[in-house]
DNA sequence: CCCCATGTTCGACA
DNA sequence: GTGTCGAACATGGG
């Protein structure tokens, strides 16, 4: 699921509970999403706390909580989540029972907030610190992600394949496999082309276009919660980018380029299945 | 049974 | 130090 727009959508799904007090916390009896942190520690930190803020940063999510009890200054509580390959955040009716793949359920009076992940590649990390998101590299839609910043990236890693660089979360936080292909296709440039051969201004424009478009089509058009009362996880709708995007064609066995109609090529580049248009982007990997 | 999957991490290796 | 690659993680779908 989750690249930056899906992650932002996940954040919005929990947003209706802003200002709500957590009345109870349930954790899956056998889960690895908390990694080394005992589930009891998570539950203890969040029970009776109030959800005060949330933010998404690339593929990371942060939820901030205010502790009720001690009036003493103490380290703030932040919950960081990563959705891995199959993680989802849902808001369901308050009494909704935890399902087989629900690893964390935060109960409030009006909603239950669920972290669900059947593959368990996701993770949930408890931070007891001030602003754990500080110092992270800027995602493409961050004001700090400037043309100069991108040009410096391309210069520093000029020999790396463009796709490998796009997938590097220290360089392009929030870009994943499908957005990387979408960006290469729009530049247009072969995914294996050395980063140093790419025009920084062009890549900057296309990267921002794809990120903004993904936000519009995926995060903005999918409502945070289903409209109907008595909703269940299955009632969530799913909007994806339109057919003018490579996204809609990349997995079809007979997929063709939405720009020129040529048959798409598919092979493994940067260790990931990659789709591209041989006519628009070149049939083989160019050399530096 | 086989293969694949919008991700990250770790160890091996050129 | 660089950069790449395969395996592992756990589960479901074709």
DSSP class of residue A69? S
pLDDT tens, position by position, A97-122 = 999 999 999 999 999 999 999 999 99
Shortest-distance nucleotide from A101 CA to C1': C11
Residue A35, burial from CB neighbour count under 10 angstroms (0-12, 13-18, 19+): exposed
- What pLDDT score does A231 carry? 67
Task: Give whole-number Cα distances, A128 to A17, A72, A76, A225, in Å.
Answer: 21, 15, 6, 30
Q: Which nucleotides of C are covered by protein (CB under 7 A)?
A: 2-7, 9-12
Specify the pTM: 0.95
Count the Cβ atoms, other than its own, within 10 Å of residue A118.
Answer: 15
- What pLDDT score does A228 carry? 54
Is A227 within a domain? yes
Cα A102 to Cα A50: distance, rounded to the nearest angstrom: 21
Query: Do A79 and A14 share a structural domain?
Result: yes
Q: Sheet with A50-57: list strands edge to edge.
A: A50-57, A60-66, A77-82, A123-128
Print the domain residue range for A102: 4-128
CA A70 to C1' C10, in angstroms, rounded, equals 40
pLDDT tens, position by position, A141-165 = 999 999 999 999 999 999 999 999 9
Shortest-distance nucleotide from A250 CA to C1': B6
- Reference A11, options A167, A180, A218; nearest CA is A218
- What pLDDT score does A149 carry? 97
Count the Cβ atoms, other than its own, within 10 Å of residue A207.
Answer: 23
- What pLDDT score does A288 carry? 44
| Per-residue pLDDT at A229 exceeds 60 | no
Q: What is the mean pLDDT of residues A38-62?
A: 97
Residue nearest to nucleotide C5 (CA to C1'): A271
| Per-residue pLDDT at A184 exceeds 50 | yes
Residue nearest to nucleotide C9 (CA to C1'): A121
Query: Do A68 and A186 share a structural domain?
Result: no
Cis check: omega of the bond before A184, within 30 degrees of 0: no
Query: Do A156 and A96 share a structural domain?
Result: no
> Which residues, including other chains, have CB under 8 Å from residue A136's CB and lie 6 or more apart?
A57, A58, A60, A173
The answer to whether strand C lies under 7 Å from the CB of residue A159 is yes
Shortest-distance nucleotide from A218 CA to C1': B6
Is A268 within a domain? yes
- Helix H or strand E encompassing A167: helix A162-167
- What pLDDT score does A10 carry? 96
Of A73 and A17, more confident = A17
Is A139 within a domain? no
Is A133 within a domain? no
Is A275 within a domain? yes
Is A135 within a domain? no
Shortest-distance nucleotide from A192 CA to C1': C4
Query: Do A10 and A41 share a structural domain?
Result: yes
Looking at the 3D structure of chain A, how many domains does it have?
2
| Per-residue pLDDT at A233 exceeds 70 | no
DSSP class of residue A21? B
CA A287 to C1' C5, in angstroms, rounded, equals 20
Would you place residue A72 in the very low, low, confident or very high pLDDT band (cuts 50, 70, 90)?
low
CA A252 to C1' B4, in angstroms, rounded, equals 13
Are A137 and A143 spatial neighbours (Cβ–Cβ below 8 Å)? Answer: no
**A75-79, A150-154, A258-262: which range is least confident on average?**
A75-79
Would you place residue A284 in the very low, low, confident or very high pLDDT band (cuts 50, 70, 90)?
confident
Q: How many CA atoms does the CB half-sphere of A110 hold within 13 Å?
A: 9
Shortest-distance nucleotide from A31 CA to C1': C10
Are A255 and A264 spatial neighbours (Cβ–Cβ below 8 Å)? Answer: yes
Is A162 within a domain? yes
> If you count them, how many residues does chain A have?
288
């Amino acid at each position: 699921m989750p690249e930056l727009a899906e992650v932002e959508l996940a954040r919005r799904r929990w947003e209706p509970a802003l200002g709500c007090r957590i009345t109870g916390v349930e954790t899956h009896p056998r889960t690895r999403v908390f990694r080394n942190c005992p589930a009891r520690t998570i539950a203890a930190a969040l029970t009776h706390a109030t959800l005060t803020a949330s933010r998404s940063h690339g593929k990371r999510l942060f939820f901030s909580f205010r502790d009720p009890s001690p009036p003493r200054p103490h380290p703030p509580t932040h919950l960081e989540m990563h959705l891995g390959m199959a993680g989802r955040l849902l808001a369901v009716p308050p009494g909704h029972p935890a399902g087989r793949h629900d690893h964390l359920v935060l109960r409030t009076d009006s909603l239950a907030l669920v972290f669900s992940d059947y593959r368990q590649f996701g993770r949930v990390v408890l931070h007891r610190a001030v602003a754990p998101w500080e110092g992270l590299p800027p995602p493409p839609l961050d004001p700090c992600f400037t043309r100069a910043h991108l040009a410096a990236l391309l210069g520093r890693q000029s020999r790396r394949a463009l796709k490998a660089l796009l997938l590097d979360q220290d360089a392009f936080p929030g870009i994943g496999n499908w957005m990387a292909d979408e960006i290469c296709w729009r530049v247009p440039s072969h995914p294996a082309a050395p980063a140093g051969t790419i025009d920084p201004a062009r890549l900057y424009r296309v990267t921002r276009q794809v990120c903004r478009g993904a936000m519009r089509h995926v995060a903005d058009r999918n409502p945070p919660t289903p409209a109907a009362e008595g909703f269940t996880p299955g009632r969530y709708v799913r909007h994806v980018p339109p057919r003018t995007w490579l996204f809609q064609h990349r997995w079809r066995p007979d997929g063709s380029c939405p720009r020129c109609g040529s048959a798409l090529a598919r092979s493994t580049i940067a260790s990931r299945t990659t789709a591209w248009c041989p006519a628009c982007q070149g049939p083989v990997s160019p050399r530096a």
